[in-house]
Structure 1
Amino acid sequence: MNTAYRVWDGQQMHYWDDEGLSLEIKGTEWILWRDGCRVIVAASYEEGTALMWDTGLKDKHDGEIYHKDITEESFVNPLLKENVIDRYVIERRKGIDRMNHVSKKSQLDRFLWYRLDEIKVVGNVYENPELLEGAE
């Protein structure tokens, strides 16, 4: 079972392998603790925090892919004969990890595992919200 995770505390990202941290989950609630002194780093009841799971898949540069990552896919449009770059946000729906197109006008979403060799993680929605701006 894949247990890698990361937590956004509203200001910075914390990863499952960061020294001195532990995640406690009870039902739908979670708390990220700083070990030793039992100080809360972030919790599900705090506004602006988020727990994200690793999908268990890697991008074309062998980087881990987490929920709420922003990925890019570059390909040549066969009709226009020009390079196209599409951005997606990784989300889980109905138990399946999906790539949801950043464009508000697009209804396009795909299974994450489709064409993994073509996508790369370029950021995430918390640390890089500017990557979502201007999407049509």
Structure 2
Amino acid sequence: MIPKFRAWNKYKKKMIEWEDLTISKDADDDELLVWTGGFVSSVIIGAILMQSTGLHDKNGKEIYEGDIVNIQFVVWDFEGETEKEYKNAAIYFDTYGSQLSVPSFYIKDEYGVRLLSELAFYDENIEIIGNIHEHPELLVEDGE
């Protein structure tokens, strides 16, 4: 899989999608150069890059780190199967307590943190409803 990214310009409050993004890193750690037609079309200071998970939601939209999703899935235990749902859960890339400190994609909501790969086969039940930068009001805080 070829890694894909999108960038959030936190000063212009604008998302730059993968298709519009040809990037290079300047010597300054805080600058990201966006190239269009062989010319620098913009310099994003304080850019936030978000990597694609490689998964798509039920509408065919690619899921990126920072997306806010709803997921319906089934849990099996000794009492049978139970339908569960993550609502307004955010996708993160981190090492969240991994014993091997291996970075991975996680889903986090008011119930806690779970590996996204555990839910990957429910992709037909995943729906992107926004992202943490453009729609922070969709996030559910712990304990709500």
**Corresponding residue of 1:127:** 134
Describe the superposition over 1:32-68 as per-residue Cα deviations: whole angstroms up to 9, x where unpaired. 324355254314xx2xx31011111111222100000
Q: Distance in 1 between matches of 2:106 and 2:40?
A: 35
Q: Distance in 2 between matches of 1:133 and 1:99?
A: 12
Q: Secondary structure at the match of 1:7?
A: strand
RMSD of aligned C-alpha atoms?
Answer: 3.2
Q: Which has the higher helix share?
A: 2
Name the aligned partner's letter for residue 9 of structure 2: D
**Corresponding residue of 1:8:** 8
Q: Distance in 1 between matches of 2:105 and 2:34?
A: 27
Cα distance, 1:117 vs structure 2 = 2.2
| Identity value in percent | 28
**Equivalent residue for 1:53, pick from 51, 54, 58:** 51
Aligned residues: 126
Name the aligned partner's letter for residue 98 of structure 1: Y
The answer to whether 1:95 aligns with 2:93 is no
TM-score if structure 2 supplies the norm length? 0.68
* Runs of at least 5 residues in structure 1 that lack an aligned partner in the other structure: none
Q: Distance in 2 between matches of 1:109 and 1:71?
A: 13
TM-score if structure 1 supplies the norm length? 0.72
* Runs of at least 5 residues in structure 2 that lack an aligned partner in the other structure: 95-101
